[in-house]
Amino acid sequence: MANKKIVKNKKTPYLSPLANLECNNHWDFRDAVGLICQRPGQFDNAFYFGENDFTKTYGAFKTVWEIIKEALVEKKVQLVSGKLKGLSVNPLIDTPKEALILDRDSFLLWYSQNKDRIKQYLTYASLSILHEEFLDRLVKENVQINPSNRSPHPDKKKAKMNRLHEDYVDAVVKMLDKNPYLKWPDFKEAPNLKVLIRESGLSPKESTLQKNWLSKARTMAKVKGTPGAPKKK
């Protein structure tokens, strides 16, 4: 896989806000929320003319705010710097800039896994994901795993399964590097892993994925234990 040229938290006046975000490994909490739903205060003109219902719009925005906060608490989105107590209690009051800095890749993974849920909440207020195409493109680019020095289409079934095994484990290791707290359901529903399996044309058993491939990835990522697994009595 070609190395992505990402400059850590570097901003330049020559780039649009979206381009700035694309160039950074870390995102401000406010920017992350704003990619999904615009703050209601910026819709005031529409409210005056009856084009939107403030209560519904605020409710949708607050819900997005809360589920991202929930993801931070559960460590599904990694916090790079800052503390949750620095988050404004009222979503309409700006959280100080850079009070919370998120890891971009773990946020994109969380977004991809919760996109349908987010869309349902926004639909209640007749809204849609504000920068859906931008987020979807970054998610897709974030899961391209085929190295340039390998043939993408091995001929024999065994070779294809070996390739899928290698790519699946490699992808899981990258996910664990970003978030070591991920559990089996997170991997089972991860869009990037589903893409790998679908494009391979194979159907590996769930037990193989969970007990063998995931176990190998945990070892490679130096993640001990299996989060969420029942303890032996």
In the prediction, which pLDDT does 146 show? Answer: 40
DSSP strand pairing (26-28 vs 101-103) = antiparallel
- What's the whole-number average pLDDT of the chain? 78
pLDDT (0 to 100) of residue 226 = 56
> For 123-139, what is each residue's pLDDT tens digit?
888 899 999 999 998 88
Domain boundaries, the chain: 17-141, 157-220
Bridge-based pairing of strands 79-81 and 26-28 is unpaired
Mean pLDDT of 166-194: 87
pLDDT per residue over 70-99, tens digit each? 999 888 898 888 888 767 666 767 666 667
**With 70 as the cut, is the pLDDT of residue 42 above it?**
no
pTM of the model: 0.57
112-116 long-range contacts, CB within 8 A, separation 24+: 112/139, 112/190, 112/191, 112/192, 113/186, 113/189, 113/190, 113/191, 114/67, 114/71
Distances 75 to 22, 55, 69, 129, 191 between C-alpha atoms, Å: 22, 30, 10, 23, 19
By the 10 Å C-beta count (0-12 exposed, 13-18 middle, 19+ buried), 16 is classed as exposed
Cα(198)–Cα(149) distance, integer angstroms: 22
Query: Which residues lie across from 102 on neighbouring strands?
Result: 27, 79
pLDDT tens by residue, 183-210: 999 898 887 888 788 878 889 999 999 9
Q: Tokens 């340039």 — which residue?
A: 148
What is the Cα 209 distance to its own chain's centre?
A: 21
